[in-house]
Amino acid sequence: MQMSTQTLPSEAAQTPVAVNPTVAERKGLTKKELAADHPTWCPGCGDFSVLALYFKLLEKRKLHQDQFVSISGIGCSSRFPYFVQAHGAHFIHGRALPFATGIALSRPDQHVFAFSGDGDAFSIGGNHFSHTARKNVNMSLVVMDNQVYGLTKKQTSPTSPLGFKSKTDGWGAVDHPINPLKQAISMGATFVARTTSTNPNHVLAMMEQAMDHNGFSFIQCLSECVEFYEGAFDSANPRKGGVFNEVPKEHDVTDEFAAYQLASTPFPGHFGVFYKVNRPTKNEKEAEIIAKHRAKVGEAKDWQILQKTFDRLK
């Protein structure tokens, strides 16, 4: 077999996880096996819960270390890959998505999970958030949104509400905040969900659906910064006297306009899947282009394909 003709390193790896018997038989990894460095987050940080539920997801879905990668940018939340005992990369600020795209496109045998924060995903990486959504790259993005820059100690973030007092807006934030759900929907994301770190079962349910979605799946996960924006999400937490409103049962997740409208509900808004449609993924489109070209070259060895090109340049 001409290995170099394959985008994938191995044929076996192309078999979907769900139908691969060798995988189905094995046990899920335990939290002990999956935990790496002790998280550097502040006690009480919402990100602990997201990490714990990621471990749960990997265990429940029996994903082993040769089947997934965890990728992040820069920020408190982006320390994530260090805490997971698996292949992972801690990339630069704002660019986790294009980096993860490079993996997702060249290694379709891998589940690609990207973890990010509101500054990383919506501010410095805002362009990539839009374009990864529109390209519908097959991967999942979890943004731990705390509405503040935590790692740099309390500056205004793109999701900080108007009036939020930060070190860069001592008088209260004046710039209109981004609504990430609306941005994702309008840019062509095919899976858009919202959850909150204080509702573990819901976080896990969203992660599972995101993982199963074929295409770019985006989860906005409210995750409180107890140090710099304490109580930000109390009104979404029943234990703190708030309300946890799920997306209404009658909401049609394939209705773009309805999803957009639902995403406009003022805080605490709704939780659940806002939008989910099937559109060919970037992975499928590229695979189609490759298949078409490979069919044309037939049985030729790779070097013979270039030889043919060179013969035309004589």
Partner 1 sequence: MSSTAPSAPASGEAPKVSKISEAVIRIAGNSQDGIQAIGGFLARLAGRSEQEVMTFMTIPSTISGGPSIFQVRIGSGEVLSAGDEADVLLCFYQHSYEGHINSLRKGGIVLFDADHVTPKPEFEKDYRHVGVKISSLTVEAIGGTAKDKGKNIFSLGLVARMFDLNITKLEKLISERFAGKDESIVKNALAAFHAGYGYSFGSLTDLFQFTESQQQGRTQVVMNGNEALAYGLIAAGVRFGAGYPITPWSDIMEALRRELPKYGGMFIQCEDEIASAAMALGASYAGRVAVTGSSGPGIALKMECLGWGIMAEVPLIVVDIQRGGPSTGMPTNVEQSDLNIACYGSHGDAPRVVLAPSNVEDCFYTAIEAVNIATKYNVPVFILSDQAIATRIEAFPEPDLQKVWQDITPDLSPVQDHKPYDLSAANGYVKRIVPGTKIASGKYPVATGLEHDEMGHPTGSPKLHAQMTAKRRKKLQVLAAEVGTPKIYGPPEGNVLLVGWGSTEGPIREAVDRARGAGDSVSGLNIRHISPLPNGLENIFSGFNHVLVVEMNDEGLYGYGQLAAMLRARFCDPKIRAINKVDGLTYKVKDILDRMKAMLNAKA
Interacting residue ranges for partner 1, rule: CB under 8 A: 3-7, 9-10, 13, 33, 36-37, 64-69, 71, 81-82, 85-92, 95, 97-103, 105-107, 109-110, 127-128, 130-131, 286, 289-290, 292-294, 296-297, 302-307, 309-310, 312-314
Query: Among residues 6 and 214, whose Cβ is nearest to partner 1?
Result: 6
What is the closest distance, in whole angstroms, from the C-beta atom of residue 239 to partner 1 in the complex? 34
Q: Are strands 216-222 and 148-149 parallel, antiparallel or unpaired?
A: unpaired
What is the closest distance, in whole angstroms, from the C-beta atom of residue 113 to partner 1 in the complex? 12
Query: Among residues 65 and 209, whose Cβ is nearest to partner 1?
Result: 65
What is the closest distance, in whole angstroms, from the C-beta atom of residue 99 to partner 1 in the complex? 4
Q: Which of 128, 164, 131, 138 is nearest to 149 (CA)?
A: 164
What is the closest distance, in whole angstroms, from the C-beta atom of residue 147 to partner 1 in the complex? 25
Packing angle between helix 96-106 and helix 282-297, nearest 10 degrees?
Answer: 40
Contact 61, 211 (CB under 8 A): yes
What is the closest distance, in whole angstroms, from the C-beta atom of residue 63 to partner 1 in the complex? 12
Query: Among residues 101 and 160, whose Cβ is nearest to partner 1?
Result: 101
Q: Which of 215, 226, 234 is nearest to 283 (CA)?
A: 215
Query: Among residues 104 and 143, whose Cβ is nearest to partner 1?
Result: 104
Tokens of 133: 């959504």
What is the closest distance, in whole angstroms, from the C-beta atom of residue 100 to partner 1 in the complex? 6
Beta strands in the chain (DSSP E): 68-72, 88-90, 111-117, 139-145, 148-149, 155-156, 191-196, 216-222, 245-246, 270-276
What is the closest distance, in whole angstroms, from the C-beta atom of residue 106 to partner 1 in the complex? 4
Tell me the H-state helices in 107-218: 118, 126-135, 180-186, 200-212
Tokens of 105: 């496109």
Contact 59, 34 (CB under 8 A): yes
Query: Among residues 86 and 206, whose Cβ is nearest to partner 1?
Result: 86
Query: Among residues 94 and 272, whose Cβ is nearest to partner 1?
Result: 94
Separation of alpha carbons 88 and 66, rounded Å: 11
CA angle 68, 73, 77 (to 5 degrees): 85
